[in-house]
A = this chain, B = another copy of it.
Amino acid sequence: MGFTFQINDDVRFKHDQSLLNKAANYRPKIYDQKMTARSIVELKKDTTLLEGVGVKKIADIHELPKQHLKRSDQVILDFGNHRVGKFSINIDSVGSPMDAPLFLKLKFAEMPAELAQDSADYDGWLSKSWIQEEYVHLDTLPVTLKLPRRYSFRFVELTVLDTSPKWQAVFDAPTVETESAVQENTIKAPELADPKLKRIYQVGLKTLADCMQTVFEDGPKRDRRLWIGDLRLQALADYSTFKNIDIVKRCLYLFGAMPTEDGRIPANVFTQPKEQPDDTFLFDYGLFFISILSDYEEFNPDREVLDDLYNVAKRQMDVALKQVNSEGELQLNDDYPVFIDWSNDFNKATAGQAVLIYTLKQFIELANQKHDADTNKYTSKLTKLTEFANKQLFDTKSGFFVSGKKREVNVASQVWMTLAHVKNDHDTQQLMTQTVKQLFPIKGIATPYMYHHVTQALFEAGLKDEAVQLMKDYWGKMIDLGADTFWEAFDPDKPDYSPYGSSILNSYCHAWSCTPVYLIDKYLS
């Protein structure tokens, strides 16, 4: 997830300290590792926005101390791969005694595209505070500059804003102390013949690892925060790889501990400086709490967690079902929007109905495990919702699910109805085959989050070749453009797309984009 703009400052939250204590107990150990920069690079002159391969090595990193930098001189360091951690560098002066402070700018970038843009030009609505750029005055040298903040980057651009005419600055030993809750090198990748798939798996694993911190973060550059939608996919990817169940439990408890007084789960929570729910609410994100709990119980049956959180899950379903009319139709409202994808160019009603069916099925499983006396009530609701979907939302003439009053045919509706398995396997395969034929190539979908669901729907419909092809076309193209980790947003038709008006704010290592590791594990190995 990234950022969706809601202010609900009149909402009151509960605060279950015993669940927060459990969340604190499952806080993972953070592994750190020191790594130095590998080379000095320059931007290629023709670097367009996201042409991420746009750097050229100009020197080995051992050449760095030989450079004497004066006012306005600049050097770009390349750490060779995506890194999340704290940065330090040795700085000294050469020439006459240092008769003025050193004034230095450091800009951290996941992609060269960020360096190609001037931060001063950014005027979007998202906070410019996310730009990873620091200005530092150093009164005396030599010094080992240790920046206190954590950055997410591969490249570091050092700009000497000023020395004095009498001396120059020299730099040595640029180092990152990486941070992650997991150790990537403990994972043995599945045997994959296709080199592109192999690389997609590697990049997905790196993406996941770099987002696993004291919680599952959506992105280590931005927002560095626990979002429900990201968590669901990260947890699935984790079960296929690191199998770190503590961090999943921690995140479940964090959400479970801080619903609103009427029981709704916020779309995200903060953990720094203290645990705090955000005031943003999304219909599908609330329901995915159920999904995460269900997926977790399936991977690791855990009575304690189920007992602690079942009622929270049930409350999400009850809140959602209030929006279903007597016909079995979900009626969305603007105060509790459904996310599905960053794009708002398509109608999301039918996709929302499918998400409700998808999560209701998972909820009924949980209710059965809990021997909940209300289970039958939910089963009959499921029947209603499914009937409405098949009878009212499915257009027999076109063979597609339609959405909204204008009976719009879009990819998201077919995909989520497939994932919800509202039709039998034969009809589902038929639906997705027709989707590929008539609605591909996909237009107007901007997130790996939604592409994940499309790809999984293809797998679920038995269209393995088409699924693999889409994975290679979409995640593979990010790699072609220089991705070391997968991006928050990517529209193959508009490589410089940003939901924020400038790709300088984009997160180029984003959790919800790591899912090829899960898809490959589940469907290809």
Which A residues are closer than 8 A to B by beta carbons? 3, 5, 7-9, 71, 95-103, 125-130, 134-135, 137, 139-142, 149, 161-166, 222-223, 225, 270, 272-273, 276-279
Contacts and interface: CB of A to CB of B under 8 A. Distances in A.
A127 B163 contact: yes
Given A7-B165, A7-B166, A127-B163, 14 more contacts: A5-B166, A97-B270, A97-B276, A98-B270, A100-B127, A100-B129, A100-B223, A101-B127, A101-B129, A103-B129, A125-B165, A129-B137, A129-B162, A142-B273
Given A102-B129, A127-B101, A162-B128, A140 B273 contact: yes
A7 B134 CA distance: 31
Number of copies: 2
10 contacts: A7-B166, A71-B128, A97-B279, A100-B129, A100-B130, A103-B127, A103-B128, A127-B162, A129-B161, A140-B272
Contact of A149 (B129, B139, B223, B273): B139
Contacts of A103: 127-129
B165 A5 contact: yes
A278 B97 contact: yes
B96 A164 contact: no
A121 to B, nearest CB: 14
A103 B5 CA distance: 20
Given A127-B163, A161-B128, A164-B127, A99 B3 contact: yes
B99 A278 contact: yes
A118 to B, nearest CB: 12
A228 to B, nearest CB: 15
Contacts of A165: 5, 7, 125, 127
